[in-house]
C-alpha cells in the first residue's frame, strides 16, 4: 500500500454510518499506521446514513480522481413503500400522510416506469445537501423554514422492477450523478396516484466498481493496519468510470 501516491479503497458502507464517518475511520487508521497527525482522505459520492453499499474512498494523490470517479453511472437497489409519505421521502422522518394504494397493479407500474427513463428533470428533496442562498437545504428544513428547490437535469439510464408485493415495490436504478432515489420514490408515488417513500437503499455500483469489489469497513481497517505497505492489496486503482 502506498497511501501518499494514492489508494482507491472500495468499501461496503454499513447502515447508519454517514460517508464522513467512514472516511474519518479510514483516515484515522492511516494516520496511526503512518504515524502522522494529518493526512488527505476523501470520498467519491455521498451515501445517506440509511443507505448501504459502494463507497469509494481515495487517499493521498488519488483524491485528485474524486471528480472523475463520482461522475460515473451509479446503480441502486431501492425498496419503495407505496401508500405513505414522509417529509424526508425516506425513513429519516415519520409518516406524515397516507394514501390509497390498492388500485396499483403490476401492469400500472410497468406502464408508469418508462416515464422516468432518459434525460429527466428532478426536484431534489428538501432534506438534502443542496445549497439555498449559501445554506444547506436540510439545515433550513430542520429549522422549519420553507425551502423551494429548482428541478435539475439528470439521466436515468435503466429502471427495472424487481418485485412488487403491495405495498412494497423493489426497483433497480442505473442513473447519473446527482440523482436522488428518495425523490424518485416520491415522483413514482405521485405518478401512481398515491404516495410513496424510500424504505431501503443499497448502492451496488459506482462507475466500474461494483459491490463485489468492496470490502467491509472492518476488513479495510484491518488491512490498513496490518497489510504490507508496498503492495496495494485493498485498491481498485485501475477501475474508472466510462
Asked about 212 being catalytic, the answer comes back as: no
Q: How far apart are CA 96 and CA 77, in angstroms?
A: 24
Q: How far apart are CA 195 and CA 185, in angstroms?
A: 9
In the block, residue with C-alpha cell 396499483: 104
- Listing DSSP states for 87-103 in one string gives TTSSTTS---EE---TT
From the candidates 48, 90, 187, 213, give the one annotated as an active-site residue.
Answer: 48
In the block, residue with C-alpha cell 417513500: 197
Half-sphere exposure of 103 (CA within 13 A, CB side): 8
Going by DSSP bridges, is the β-strand pair 41-44/168-175 parallel, antiparallel, or unpaired? unpaired
CA 2: distance to chain centroid? 28
Phi-psi region of 6 (alpha: psi -120 to 50; beta: other; left: phi over 0): left
CA 173: distance to chain centroid? 11
CA 188: distance to chain centroid? 18
Question: Which residues participate in catalysis according to the annotation?
Answer: 48
Amino acid at each position: 500500500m502506498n497511501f501518499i501516491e494514492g489508494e482507491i479503497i472500495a468499501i461496503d458502507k454499513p447502515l447508519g454510518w454517514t460517508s464522513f464517518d467512514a472516511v474519518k475511520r479510514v483516515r484515522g487508521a492511516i494516520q496511526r499506521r503512518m504515524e502522522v497527525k494529518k493526512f488527505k482522505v476523501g470520498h467519491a459520492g455521498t451515501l445517506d446514513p440509511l443507505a448501504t453499499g459502494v463507497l469509494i474512498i481515495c487517499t493521498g494523490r488519488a483524491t485528485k480522481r474524486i471528480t472523475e470517479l463520482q461522475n460515473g453511472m451509479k446503480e441502486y437497489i431501492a425498496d419503495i413503500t407505496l401508500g405513505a409519505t414522509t417529509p424526508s421521502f425516506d425513513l429519516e422522518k415519520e409518516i406524515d400522510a397516507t394514501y390509497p394504494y390498492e388500485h396499483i397493479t403490476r401492469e400500472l407500474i410497468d406502464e408508469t416506469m418508462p416515464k422516468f427513463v432518459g434525460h429527466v428533470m428532478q426536484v431534489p428533496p428538501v432534506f438534502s445537501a443542496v445549497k439555498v442562498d449559501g445554506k444547506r437545504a436540510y439545515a433550513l428544513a430542520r429549522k422549519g423554514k420553507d425551502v423551494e428547490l429548482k428541478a435539475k437535469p439528470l439521466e436515468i439510464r435503466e429502471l427495472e422492477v424487481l418485485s412488487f408485493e403491495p405495498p412494497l415495490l423493489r426497483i433497480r436504478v442505473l442513473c447519473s450523478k446527482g440523482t436522488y432515489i428518495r425523490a424518485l420514490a416520491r415522483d413514482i408515488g405521485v405518478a401512481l396516484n398515491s404516495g410513496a417513500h424510500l424504505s431501503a437503499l443499497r448502492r451496488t455500483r459506482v462507475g466500474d466498481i461494483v459491490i463485489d469489489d468492496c470490502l467491509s469497513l472492518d476488513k479495510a481497517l484491518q488491512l490498513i493496519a496490518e497489510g504490507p505497505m508496498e503492495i496495494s492489496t485493498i485498491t481498485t486503482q485501475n477501475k474508472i468510470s466510462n
